[in-house]
Amino acid sequence: MLMVVGVLALGASLLGAAVLLALILWKWGAGLARVLGLFLILSNLYRLMLAVFVPWVLGSAALWLAVGVLLWLFGHWVHIVRYRRARSPLAQRVFALPGLRALVPSAARP
């Protein structure tokens, strides 16, 4: 009986932690994604410049650069979904491109 109560308490606390994490990510996730994406973009552009001297860095630098771009785009997309407008003129221009225009909700389209 005590084991069942312990398992239920653990399940409830894990569910509460998951809900709290989801709320934190919804509140600050877009900004964190944009900042982390920008950091990955800048650091891996530097690594791509170093690939002239150290060629084996090229593959991982290109991969992490793509991850940074996707993270930056995801952060701006979340902001557009929440506030129906782009955070910056650059993001507005990027999401006006033909491939990415379909991802923007119809109320926020330019």
Residues 7-36: tens digit of each pLDDT: 667 777 888 888 888 888 888 888 999 999
pLDDT in tens, 55-106: 898 889 999 999 999 999 999 998 988 888 888 999 999 998 988 888 887 7
Query: Which positions ≥6 away from 11 have C-beta within 8 Å?
Result: none
Q: Which residue has the higher pLDDT, 84 or 110?
A: 84
pLDDT in tens, 32-58: 999 999 999 999 999 999 888 888 988
Alpha-carbon span 76 to 108, nearest angstrom:
12
Question: Residue 65: in which H helix or E strand, if any?
Answer: helix 58-83
Residue-level pLDDT at 4: 67
Domain boundaries, the chain: 29-108
CA angle 41, 43, 49 (to 5 degrees): 100
Alpha-carbon span 86 to 40, nearest angstrom:
21
